[in-house]
Structure 1
Protein backbone atom coordinates (compact mmCIF):
# COMPACT_ATOMS: atom_id res chain seq x y z
CA UNK A 1 0.00 0.00 0.00
CA UNK A 2 1.27 3.47 -0.81
CA UNK A 3 2.32 5.68 2.10
CA UNK A 4 1.62 9.39 2.55
CA UNK A 5 3.60 11.72 4.79
CA UNK A 6 1.72 14.59 6.41
CA UNK A 7 2.42 17.17 9.09
CA UNK A 8 0.11 17.49 12.09
CA UNK A 9 0.10 19.69 15.16
CA UNK A 10 2.07 17.92 17.89
CA UNK A 11 -0.56 18.59 20.56
CA UNK A 12 -3.21 17.02 18.35
CA UNK A 13 -1.11 13.91 17.82
CA UNK A 14 -0.29 13.58 21.52
CA UNK A 15 -3.98 13.82 22.37
CA UNK A 16 -4.78 11.10 19.82
CA UNK A 17 -2.03 8.93 21.26
CA UNK A 18 -3.42 9.31 24.78
CA UNK A 19 -7.02 8.65 23.72
CA UNK A 20 -6.03 5.64 21.60
CA UNK A 21 -3.67 4.31 24.26
CA UNK A 22 -0.89 3.98 21.71
CA UNK A 23 2.72 5.06 22.15
CA UNK A 24 3.52 5.47 18.47
CA UNK A 25 2.16 8.59 16.69
CA UNK A 26 1.87 6.83 13.34
CA UNK A 27 -0.15 3.97 14.83
CA UNK A 28 -2.40 6.33 16.80
CA UNK A 29 -3.33 8.44 13.79
CA UNK A 30 -3.81 5.32 11.65
CA UNK A 31 -6.21 3.88 14.25
CA UNK A 32 -8.26 7.06 14.28
CA UNK A 33 -8.48 7.17 10.49
CA UNK A 34 -9.44 3.49 10.26
CA UNK A 35 -12.10 3.96 12.95
CA UNK A 36 -13.51 6.99 11.10
CA UNK A 37 -13.74 5.00 7.86
CA UNK A 38 -15.35 2.00 9.58
CA UNK A 39 -17.90 4.27 11.26
CA UNK A 40 -18.77 5.77 7.88
CA UNK A 41 -19.31 2.30 6.40
CA UNK A 42 -21.56 1.31 9.31
CA UNK A 43 -23.61 4.48 8.85
CA UNK A 44 -23.95 3.82 5.12
CA UNK A 45 -25.12 0.26 5.82
CA UNK A 46 -27.76 1.45 8.31
CA UNK A 47 -29.08 4.10 5.92
CA UNK A 48 -29.23 1.59 3.06
CA UNK A 49 -31.11 -0.91 5.24
CA UNK A 50 -33.55 1.78 6.35
CA UNK A 51 -34.14 2.87 2.74
CA UNK A 52 -34.67 -0.74 1.67
CA UNK A 53 -37.24 -1.27 4.43
CA UNK A 54 -39.07 1.91 3.41
CA UNK A 55 -39.02 0.79 -0.23
CA UNK A 56 -40.43 -2.64 0.72
CA UNK A 57 -43.25 -0.99 2.68
CA UNK A 58 -44.17 1.14 -0.35
CA UNK A 59 -44.37 -1.85 -2.71
CA UNK A 60 -46.50 -4.06 -0.44
CA UNK A 61 -50.24 -3.96 -1.04
CA UNK A 62 -52.20 -2.61 1.90
CA UNK A 63 -53.49 -5.26 4.28
CA UNK A 64 -57.22 -5.75 4.32
CA UNK A 65 -58.91 -5.58 7.66
CA UNK A 66 -61.86 -7.79 8.25
Structure 2
Protein backbone atom coordinates (compact mmCIF):
# COMPACT_ATOMS: atom_id res chain seq x y z
CA UNK A 1 0.00 0.00 0.00
CA UNK A 2 1.24 3.48 -0.86
CA UNK A 3 2.10 5.71 2.09
CA UNK A 4 0.18 8.98 1.58
CA UNK A 5 1.75 10.71 4.59
CA UNK A 6 2.82 14.15 3.43
CA UNK A 7 1.08 13.83 0.06
CA UNK A 8 0.64 17.18 -1.65
CA UNK A 9 -2.37 17.06 -3.95
CA UNK A 10 -2.70 19.37 -6.92
CA UNK A 11 -5.70 19.79 -9.16
CA UNK A 12 -5.31 19.07 -12.84
CA UNK A 13 -5.04 22.15 -15.04
CA UNK A 14 -7.57 20.42 -17.30
CA UNK A 15 -10.20 20.35 -14.55
CA UNK A 16 -12.92 22.97 -14.72
CA UNK A 17 -13.78 25.45 -11.99
CA UNK A 18 -17.50 24.65 -12.11
CA UNK A 19 -17.41 21.61 -9.82
CA UNK A 20 -17.44 19.18 -12.73
CA UNK A 21 -14.79 16.64 -13.59
CA UNK A 22 -11.90 17.28 -11.22
CA UNK A 23 -8.80 15.17 -10.80
CA UNK A 24 -6.06 15.64 -8.23
CA UNK A 25 -2.60 14.11 -8.42
CA UNK A 26 0.07 13.60 -5.77
CA UNK A 27 3.48 13.14 -7.36
CA UNK A 28 5.63 13.86 -4.32
CA UNK A 29 5.35 10.33 -2.92
CA UNK A 30 8.38 8.10 -2.32
CA UNK A 31 7.73 5.66 -5.15
CA UNK A 32 4.25 6.08 -6.59
CA UNK A 33 1.87 8.63 -8.03
CA UNK A 34 -1.66 8.81 -6.61
CA UNK A 35 -4.77 10.08 -8.42
CA UNK A 36 -8.14 10.87 -6.85
CA UNK A 37 -11.44 12.63 -7.49
CA UNK A 38 -11.18 16.09 -5.93
CA UNK A 39 -14.89 16.04 -5.07
CA UNK A 40 -14.34 12.93 -2.92
CA UNK A 41 -10.94 13.40 -1.29
CA UNK A 42 -11.53 10.60 1.24
CA UNK A 43 -12.83 8.19 -1.39
CA UNK A 44 -10.97 5.66 -3.49
CA UNK A 45 -7.81 6.52 -5.35
CA UNK A 46 -5.56 4.99 -7.95
CA UNK A 47 -1.82 4.55 -7.58
CA UNK A 48 0.71 4.11 -10.34
CA UNK A 49 4.44 3.58 -10.44
CA UNK A 50 6.26 6.73 -11.49
CA UNK A 51 7.26 4.96 -14.73
CA UNK A 52 3.67 3.97 -15.55
CA UNK A 53 2.42 7.51 -14.80
CA UNK A 54 5.08 9.06 -17.05
CA UNK A 55 4.05 6.68 -19.84
CA UNK A 56 0.38 7.54 -19.35
CA UNK A 57 1.04 11.29 -19.50
CA UNK A 58 3.20 10.93 -22.62
CA UNK A 59 0.48 8.88 -24.35
CA UNK A 60 -2.24 11.36 -23.35
CA UNK A 61 -0.20 14.24 -24.76
CA UNK A 62 0.36 12.35 -28.03
CA UNK A 63 -3.37 11.60 -28.32
CA UNK A 64 -4.24 15.22 -27.58
CA UNK A 65 -2.09 16.41 -30.46
CA UNK A 66 -3.59 13.80 -32.79
CA UNK A 67 -7.16 15.12 -32.47
Q: TM-score, normalised by structure 2?
A: 0.35
Normalized per residue, which structure has more helix?
Answer: 1
Normalized per residue, which structure has more strand?
Answer: 2
